Amino acid sequence: MRWTLKPKPSEKKVKLLAETLKVEDFVATLLVQRSIETYEEARQFFRPTLEDLHNPFLMKDMDKAVERIELAIKNQENILVFGDYDVDGTTAVSLVSSYLKMEYPNVSTYIPDRYDEGYGISFKGIDFADDNGFSLIIALDCGIKSIDHVAYAKERNIDFIICDHHRPGNSLPEAVAVLDPKRDDCTYPYDELCGCGIGFKLIQALGENRNQTIEDLTPYLDLVATAIAADIVPMTGENRILAYFGLQVINSDPRPGIKALIHQIKKKTLDITDVVFVIAPRINAAGRIKHGIHAVELLTEFDFEQAQQFASEIEAYNSERKDLDKQITKEALGQIIENNEEKRFTSVVFQEDWHKGVIGIVASRLIETYYRPTLVFTKSGDKYAASARSVKGFDVYNALEACSEHLEQFGGHMYAAGMTLLEENYLAFKEAFEKEVERTIHPDMLTPEISIDAEINLTDITPKLTRILKQFEPFGPQNMTPVFLTKNVNDTGYAQKLGADEEHLKLFVRQNNSDGMAAIGFGLGNKMELTANKKPFEAVYCIDENEWNGKTSVQLRLKDIK
């Protein structure tokens, strides 16, 4: 692990903000590091309000999208809500379809089959719409590069509204409306929304047209918060507002489908981490193992008993997903060693029988062992399909673009992408990708980095500080959980290893004569000898709350020690 202390911001800015907000200097430092420098910016950060959401009609083509949907309703047309099979896509389809169905019955949903159709808008989906009399398709979380598909639909008198958040290509599909804040000609003030977030802006615009208030749309925010958490988009601006209020809905009055998932995990209050690691994988499991439409059925079900039935089926898919993920990761690691590829700049592995639904998770797992850009390929029809994952600071999308001559198609983000290629191009692509990453990656990026916000003493950790840090939530990219460094720490002699394989470390730490404090280090069991005989060490950690037997206490969640 590489420890990096964030640069100290301007002392003048910190002092001014500390005085304005009446907080300690190092709390003001944390805020300035997050580009919060004024009272008004701090108010928006600590006290988000739905009124701070932007006018949806500022988004390019929003007026056209609303006009076309209202025309479809007026003319009694059949509307097909189409979306990707992951969490962002299935929540977006659930949101837009359930909103439209509140007032209009001629609405159906379509999720492409991960294995038969692959990612995004499919010709099979358009044929389905044509065969069943749909004249308008609303595509969510996909479609920005589907030029041929939209043209194919147009020939069949089917209109498209595209709601996407991925980077456009050189030209846009000829849809009735293309809602994507990443369009060069779109001046919408915030361009980091996820697909479900774009879907929410669409229903916000439709709601304004129908004299609905933002409060009328609040019940849909449980879906938006789930998508924001799962899609790892920046936790800034509108995403932060939507996630903040969405978490309130999840914890107070979630839709029956989400309630049924929470019911299974038996936790009273969920934070954004629970949504990422508990709710999202279960929703994702449907599309990975069976079919994404099962997730939509769960998320649009209004009967709680039926929702519980759907949730238990999805729980079974999730268990199967875990087993596959473990098995394929083991095989992929074996392949890297067998091929003497431990010292490369990339991990690129292929096996034709690997389950396509879990290769993205496997790519993330491989990065835990070999920290470098990673692609996991499997056979998909007569082609090879892969999921890509990257390391902090490296844009895997750009690297794929540089090797695109070997690819059939690709799409995605800086840190995650998908692609297909012909079997005969696999080895040439693998070498081209290796060379491109070697050429463009900074050597530091190949070592995991812990980015430290500030150095503090254990005596600085007061109930007041813990309360303030709680108000920094929800956490996510560009507003990560604050990480602190404390030097000259000792274990008081109670160190122990935990877990079936003794992989975790539990300590009770002290600094100089401070009160003792519990600390837990997941995956740090192998570092226990550093704490032996009360030797001093340095610790990097987040400040956490531990609930046990109805009591809540502050503990340190260790990220590393040395």
Q: Does domain 56-313 have CATH number 3.90.1640.30?
A: yes
pLDDT at residue 353, as a whole number = 94
pLDDT at residue 31, as a whole number = 95
Residue 108 has pLDDT above 90, yes or no: yes
User: Which of 522, 480, 545, 505 has its CA nearest to residue 4?
Assistant: 480
pLDDT at residue 309, as a whole number = 95
Which string of b and e fits 434-471 if b means at least 16 CB within 10 Å? bebbeeebeeebbeeeeebbbebebebbeeebeebbee
pLDDT at residue 250, as a whole number = 96
Which string of b and e fits 529-561 if b means at least 16 CB within 10 Å? ebbeeeeebebbbbbbeeeeeeeeeebbbbbbb
To 5 degrees, how large is the angle CA 298–CA 301–CA 306? 80
Mean of the pLDDT values across residues 44-59?
96
User: Which of 463, 396, 476 has its CA nearest to residue 436?
Assistant: 396
Q: Assign 534 a pLDDT band (cuts: 50, 70, 90).
A: confident
Residue 550 has pLDDT above 80, yes or no: no
In the chain, residues under CATH classification 3.90.1640.30 are 56-313
SS3 270: coil
Pairing of strands 347-350, 159-163: unpaired
Non-local CB neighbours of 442 within 8 Å, separated by 6+ positions: 393
pLDDT at residue 371, as a whole number = 96
Distance CA 248, CA 270 (A): 9
Residue 434 has pLDDT above 90, yes or no: yes
Residue 407 has pLDDT above 80, yes or no: yes
Digit-coded pLDDT (tens) for 337-371: 999 999 999 999 999 999 988 999 999 999 999 99
In the chain, residues under CATH classification 2.40.50.460 are 451-561
Percentage of the chain with pLDDT > 70? Answer: 100
Digit-coded pLDDT (tens) for 175-203: 999 999 999 999 999 999 999 999 999 99
pLDDT at residue 519, as a whole number = 95
Mean of the pLDDT values across residues 542-551?
81
Residue 548 has pLDDT above 80, yes or no: no
Q: Assign 336 a pLDDT band (cuts: 50, 70, 90).
A: very high
Mean of the pLDDT values across residues 403-430?
92
pLDDT at residue 263, as a whole number = 86
pLDDT at residue 38, as a whole number = 94
pLDDT at residue 267, as a whole number = 74
Residue 535 has pLDDT above 80, yes or no: yes
Q: Which residue has the higher pLDDT, 357 or 398?
A: 398
Residue 545 has pLDDT above 90, yes or no: no
Q: Does domain 451-561 have CATH number 2.40.50.460?
A: yes
Mean of the pLDDT values across residues 204-224?
96
pLDDT at residue 96, as a whole number = 98
pLDDT at residue 549, as a whole number = 75
pLDDT at residue 543, as a whole number = 95
Distance CA 224, CA 247 (A): 9
pLDDT at residue 338, as a whole number = 94
Mean of the pLDDT values across residues 308-330?
93
| Angle (deg, nearest 10), helices 359-369 and 304-338 | 50
In the chain, residues under CATH classification 3.10.310.30 are 339-446
Cβ contact 8:30 at 8 Å: no
Digit-coded pLDDT (tens) for 58-69: 999 999 999 999
Mean of the pLDDT values across residues 121-148?
96
Q: Assign 161 a pLDDT band (cuts: 50, 70, 90).
A: very high
pLDDT at residue 464, as a whole number = 86
Residue 90 has pLDDT above 80, yes or no: yes
pLDDT at residue 269, as a whole number = 84
The fold for domain 339-446 equals Diaminopimelate Epimerase; Chain A, domain 1 (3.10.310)
Residue 118 has pLDDT above 90, yes or no: no
Q: Which of 200-204, 247-251, 544-548 has the lowest mean pLDDT?
A: 544-548
Residue 122 has pLDDT above 90, yes or no: yes
Average predicted confidence (pLDDT) for the chain: 93
Q: Assign 515 a pLDDT band (cuts: 50, 70, 90).
A: confident
